[in-house]
A and B are shown apart, each in its own frame.
Chain A
Amino acid sequence: MPKLTIDGHEVEVAAGTNLIEAARAAGVAIPYFCYHPYLTVVGQCRICMVEIAGQPRLALGCATPAADGMVVKVETSERAREAREAVMEFLLANHPLDCPVCDQAGECLLQDHSMREQGSEFATHMTETRRTFPGYERRLIGPHVVQNQNRCIHCSRCIRFTREISGTAALTYKSRGNSTFIDTFDGSAFDDPMSACAADVCPVGALTVREFRFRKRSWKLLSTPSVCPGCSIGCNIFIDHHERVVYRFTPRENPAINATWLCDHGRFLAEPLNEQAYLDPQHRTGGQTIRVGWGEALAGIAAELKDASGLRVVASANLSNEELFLARELFGRHLKGEIAVPVAPGEPRKMRNGKGEWLHATDPHANSAGARRLGLDLVDGEGLSRFLYGGAGLTLILDPGAHPFLASPEALQLLRVGTTVVWARREHPAAHAATWLLPTPSLAGNEGTFTSSAGAVQRFAQAFAAPGTVHRTATGAMSPSCPTIAVPWGPPGEARPLWLTLAALARELGVPPLDLASPADVFALMARKDKAFAGLAWETLGGLQQDESFRERQHVG
């Protein structure tokens, strides 16, 4: 393991580590634009030049491996500083400098470096006018990516992403020299299944995500670590939100699962998190639906549970481990009800991990593995229909989105027969068949863990509190021309996470061990009781440990 000194800080790093990463470990920031930790090193932008004692020429921080005894100067080298200055002059010679109207501002490597090192002292020898790419300033190159070629610094990160990660090699340089620009084949759509990652890796505002641009300045956003709900692979994400509105998912680094990538399918599940159709508990009696308080609803449901002749619970593979565990303990163990977890077939999904291996999934649920480990019965559509035909005095639907069958006329007819309690967030026909309806928040308002198909138990944190004011999108859809506007929907609502209502029901029903105060407490009990979770501790669960935002990593400052 080489030991070296960078700007006076001693650091020991693994063999093969480049100077940028070694400096990062030493707390020194070597600026970079073309380097990316998960792409090949090309040494194209030249901003990472550093001085190495005993070497006459400056060296590239990205392309130089750390060596034992090396003495590296970054901030402390006048020569390196001058070289960086010259590189910036070149890069900015043709850059439009349109930060005020550029949506990358705030998360732009070029802007960050310019602010950090140049401040307002920017000098140029240029007398010519800037090179521009008329017609390429606002070009939709695919369903999700908008190109502004004038801003491109020709780092080739986007090209390398499509060649090395998504594997489509759909982006390329065209033409040469000063006129080089980024394009697809013959003007075809850039419909790479991970296309928005090309915008993620673009260090400047040359490629931006259509759905997000101009909706929120990046510095306003809070990033909450979470897990993608899109399939069983369990990619790590940040939920970027502001004032209780979710604006986007961004990848959170996890070398074992998604490195720093997300597929477009998962990424664009962000916007629907803002939908909140139900805000208050509702009770239907004598053909009338009335809004009720949580106290009344919980007492009413507890009474139904006590008197029920037969209890059937349709759980869901979209629920957290904690919620599935509480449901199993309360409804299965204590109330002797039957529980089924319906699983639906999904589209094939794939993700490239940090070692370059593909992970595959056809399971559209985030937590089938958790349900299986908890010993719950996983059923397909047919099994679910049999389960519901089995009949029961009381049926609980913990998540109407668990399976498409729950929206079928057949299922609705069955649900109308007895008493039905439904937990729901989005508009769903099953909610109309409910005797009791309890509003739940989205993933952003919940907290817990999912078990990935590979067996990783991963925590997701709560982005904003529930109960509380819930926002709903005005349009329900995202489009650059019609930005989503957050409007309070009715009076302050009180959507409560399922685990919270289950704990409250445990209290009503006199099952004190399950009357727990937080998902962490539920997890602790689960880890004590269940072999599948034995030895795991909430605080050290994968996911939140490497909480450091990748955007911090990406950023120079």
Chain B
Amino acid sequence: MSTRPIVAASPEALQIVTFDATMEARIAELLPRYPTRRAAILPLLWLCQERFGWISPGVVRAVAARLGESPAFVEGVVSFYTMYQTAPPARYVLQVCTTISCAWCGGRELVAHLKERLGISFGEKTPDGVFQLVGVQCLGACGQAPVIQINDDYYENLDIAKLDAILDELAGRS
């Protein structure tokens, strides 16, 4: 299985005010693709999440400064989307589709099983910091329902046995 764990929340994220040379190089590549600096806000936040593991207030400040926006504005954008982590995330974020096709094809059972096996509900992390459960809307893969996205990867046509195998494997790696 190829799913990579999320970058552990870096302590840097708390104080970061500017970006290092590597980040700057990637930003320089990014900005020209957009008509205004403001328009690059989503991909830049995405870059930051890859790099720092989550979007801390420090990261928000740095992004705001880089784009010439106010930190309040950037934080507002971050809060609009579920895929930006606004707290240090677990290593594996289980994004379970809760929309109708998946729900009909066994998604509800998967959710119930996950909650029971991990002992957490939506929005929570396991105490060991390995798994985080998030309920999401249609992942656009209804043909392969039920679907769970783990970090950046899709796991499709799932049932409880397959899911358990995946979780065992990921937990073993941690």
Contact = CB atoms under 8 A, between A and B. Distances in A.
A and B: real partners?
yes
B79 A170 contact: no
A467 B79 CA distance: 58
Interface in A160-184: 162-163, 168-176, 183-184
A346 B151 CA distance: 57
Contacts of B79: 174-176
A171 B72 contact: yes
B80 interface: yes
Nearest to A172: B76
Contact of A184 (B60, B69, B72): B72
Nearest to B56: A186
Interface residues of A, number: 15
Nearest to A167: B70
B27 to A, nearest CB: 21
B70 A174 contact: no
B135 interface: no
Contacts of B19: none
B57 A185 contact: yes
B45 to A, nearest CB: 15
A169 B69 CA distance: 8
Contacts of A185: 57, 60, 70-72, 75
B69 A174 contact: no
Interface in B70-128: 70-73, 75-76, 79-80
A119 B154 CA distance: 55
A173 B69 CA distance: 14
B71 A186 contact: yes
Central interface residue in A163, A168, A186, by most chain B CB within 10 Å: A186
Contacts of B80: 173, 175-176
Contacts of B73: 163, 169, 172
Interface string B36-80: 000000000000000000000100100000000111110110011
A376 to B, nearest CB: 45
B75 A172 contact: yes
A419 to B, nearest CB: 58
Contacts of B60: 185-186
A168 B70 contact: yes
A414 to B, nearest CB: 51
Contacts of B70: 163, 168-170, 172, 185
Interface string B112-155: 00000000000000000000000000000000000000000000
Central interface residue in A163, A171, A174, by most chain B CB within 10 Å: A174
A186 B76 contact: no
B57 A186 contact: yes
B135 to A, nearest CB: 15
B56 to A, nearest CB: 9
Nearest to A174: B79
Nearest to A169: B70
A143 to B, nearest CB: 17
A175 B84 CA distance: 12
Contacts of A183: 72, 75-76
A162 B76 CA distance: 14
A176 B80 CA distance: 5
A442 to B, nearest CB: 38
B76 A174 contact: yes
B71 to A, nearest CB: 4
A171 B71 CA distance: 10
A174 B76 CA distance: 5
Given A185-B57, A185-B60, A186-B60, A173 B76 contact: yes
Contacts of A172: 70, 72-73, 75-76
A176 B77 CA distance: 10
Contacts of B71: 185-186
Contacts of B72: 162, 169-172, 183-185
A183 to B, nearest CB: 7
Contact of B75 (A162, A163, A174): A174
Nearest to B82: A176
Contacts of A186: 57, 60, 71, 75
Nearest to A171: B72
B13 to A, nearest CB: 13
A281 B72 CA distance: 55
Central interface residue in A172, A173, A174, A184, by most chain B CB within 10 Å: A172
Contacts of B76: 172-174, 183
Interface in A169-220: 169-176, 183-186
A65 B13 CA distance: 48
A260 to B, nearest CB: 22
A495 B148 CA distance: 78
A176 B71 CA distance: 18
A173 B71 CA distance: 12
A297 B72 CA distance: 60
B101 to A, nearest CB: 22
Contacts of A184: 72
7 contacts: A163-B70, A169-B70, A171-B72, A174-B75, A175-B80, A185-B57, A186-B75
Given A163-B73, A172-B70, A172-B73, 11 more contacts: A169-B73, A170-B70, A171-B72, A172-B72, A173-B76, A173-B80, A174-B76, A175-B79, A175-B80, A183-B72, A185-B72
Interface of B: 57, 60, 69-73, 75-76, 79-80
4 nearest CB pairs, A to B: A172-B76, A169-B70, A185-B71, A185-B72
